[in-house]
Amino acid sequence: MRDTRCVIPFRFFHLISEFFVSNIPSFGVGTFRLTGQAAMDSVRNALDVGYRAIDTAQIYGNEADVGQAIAESGVKRSDLFVTTKIWTDNLARTKLVPSLRESLEKLRTDHVDLTLIHWPAPGNGVALPEYMEALAEAKALGLTRQIGVSNFNIELTRQAIDVVGNGEIATNQIELSPYLQGRKLTAFLQEQGITVTSYMTLAYGKVLKDAVLAQIAAKHRATVAQVALAWALQLGYAVIPSSTRRENLASNLLARDLALDADDMALIGTLERNGREVDPEGLAPVWD
């Protein structure tokens, strides 16, 4: 059992911050590296235990699996928040919208709630204004309710804002964990009113072995994964952890009710080590 003291104040903070900061759900399920039956089972189990936001991408090769799981879940489409991401091969103006239409067919829906540029891929031959204008066109066509970016640094985010306008970029989905805290970039995004979405919050599982996080987890009678996710939530970030195990999906969701105190947050702040796990050559920007 976990200590549930201070749950009500934190959940109040959580609901208020989500209401005022953005229309991005604070907690979703990721599907990176899951395909076929594993992807379908993960999404089905996630929806069954209470998730209502699902994150996928063209490059994951699982949009059809996600679409099937949603269709068979019995959950109304209007109750779900579905995100996909445009792969770098489809950034050209002539390709972006058609590729998104293909994604919608696979997902068995007439729109997604959020579409992101997956990687900026500087130097790949498609200029940022071209693909951001095409992304804005996708929104104007009703193919996506919101638009955003992923893996953009400060300068590229500024450029994206210049193209689509203030208030149009809903989120920047970036790698963040207790080992990679990205304070400069996250501060900029929050100043701009852009929601920070943290992926790889558990650093491929590396943080699960951390002694400091284990100490905090023991204090709250929580899991280390819950502590890491609660850390991100309390900083105002959205999170999208993934798992193939139903019990882990359910356990991770309890991070929403875990209130870390100031001492806990300060201790986690000392774990910064620039521990980036994902940095693909040719796709990633120069990181801040």
Three-class DSSP category at 153:
coil
Instruction: Find the length of the chain.
Output: 288
Specify which residues 44 forms β-bridges with.
none
Ligand-binding annotation for 111, yes or no, is no
Count CB atoms within 10 A of the CB of residue 49.
15
Using DSSP, state whether 55 is helix, strand or coil: strand
Alpha helices in 1-107 (DSSP H): 7-21, 36-49, 63-73, 93-107
User: Where are the strands (E) in the chain, listed by range?
Assistant: 29-30, 53-55, 81-86, 112-117, 144-150, 169-175, 195-199, 238-239
Catalytic residues: 60
**What share of residues in the chain are helix, strand, coil (percent, to 5)?**
50, 15, 35
| β-pair partners for 116 | 85, 148
Sequence ranges of the binding site: 118
Known binding residues for substrate are 118
